[in-house]
């Protein structure tokens, strides 16, 4: 145990290089954060040691550095959990769309003239021509096809709204993350 304990602090240049490598801040943003850090340190150093209230306020201000952004991130994270959960619950809409498309395919296949025997006449319908039966079938399926297309349009609109919402949420989360990163950077400068 003959070695002396020494606390070696990295030089400002080393800290600055590490910050530049690990963060996505511009030079101006880094300088602004450094200036804020220096003002914060001066405010802390100006505290009179003999006043307990001043010391308590100083400790509180250090402890709460960036706390408002942390809380905002936590609230936003909870909001996103709810959004993702509701999207997940609505994923059954995707199943509905798939079912609707299968139903549409089946309806269209029933109208394929290749599968209809226009020469065959059945039961009491012998007096109807096969062509007339084909067009009757077409009319009955036309309403079904219209319904299917409306359902697909509704699903499309829901998907558009969900994408817009998620895009805004992503942008908001990016901004919060950047704010939080600036407080982390400020904390490193203060440290």
State the alpha helices, DSSP H only, in 46-129. 52-63, 67-89, 92-110
The tally of domains found in the chain comes to 2
Same domain, 122 and 155: yes
Question: 41-97 pLDDT, tens per residue?
Answer: 787 777 766 676 776 777 677 777 778 888 888 887 777 776 666 666 665 556 677
Does this model's pTM top 0.85?
Answer: no
Range of the domain at 123: 90-178
From first CA to last CA, the distance across the chain in angstroms is 28
Q: Is residue 145 part of a domain?
A: yes
Same domain, 95 and 58: no
Question: 148-165 pLDDT, tens per residue?
Answer: 888 888 888 888 888 888
Same domain, 123 and 69: no
Same domain, 95 and 174: yes
Same domain, 155 and 140: yes
> How far, in Å, CA of 168 to CA of 185, rounded?
26
Q: Is residue 60 part of a domain?
A: yes
Q: Is residue 7 part of a domain?
A: no
- At residue 184 the predicted structure's pLDDT band, cuts being 50, 70 and 90, is confident
């Amino acid at each position: 145990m003959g070695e002396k304990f020494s606390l070696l602090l990295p030089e400002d240049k080393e800290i600055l290089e590490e910050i530049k490598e690990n963060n996505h801040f511009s030079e101006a943003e880094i300088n602004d954060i450094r200036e804020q850090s220096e003002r914060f340190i001066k405010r802390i150093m100006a505290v009179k040691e003999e006043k307990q209230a001043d010391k308590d306020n100083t400790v509180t201000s250090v402890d709460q550095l960036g706390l408002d952004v942390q809380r905002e991130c936590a609230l936003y994270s909870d909001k996103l959990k709810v959004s993702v959960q509701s999207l997940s619950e609505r994923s059954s809409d995707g199943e509905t769309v798939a079912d609707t498309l299968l139903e549409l395919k089946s309806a269209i296949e029933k109208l394929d003239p290749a599968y209809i025997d226009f020469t065959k006449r059945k039961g009491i319908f012998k007096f109807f021509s096969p062509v007339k039966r084909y067009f009757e079938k077409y009319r009955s399926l036309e309403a079904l096809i219209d319904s299917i297309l409306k359902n697909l349009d509704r699903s499309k609109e829901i998907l558009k709204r969900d994408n817009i919402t998620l895009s805004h949420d992503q942008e908001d989360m990016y901004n919060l993350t950047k704010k939080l990163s600036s407080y982390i950077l400020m904390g490193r400068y203060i440290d």
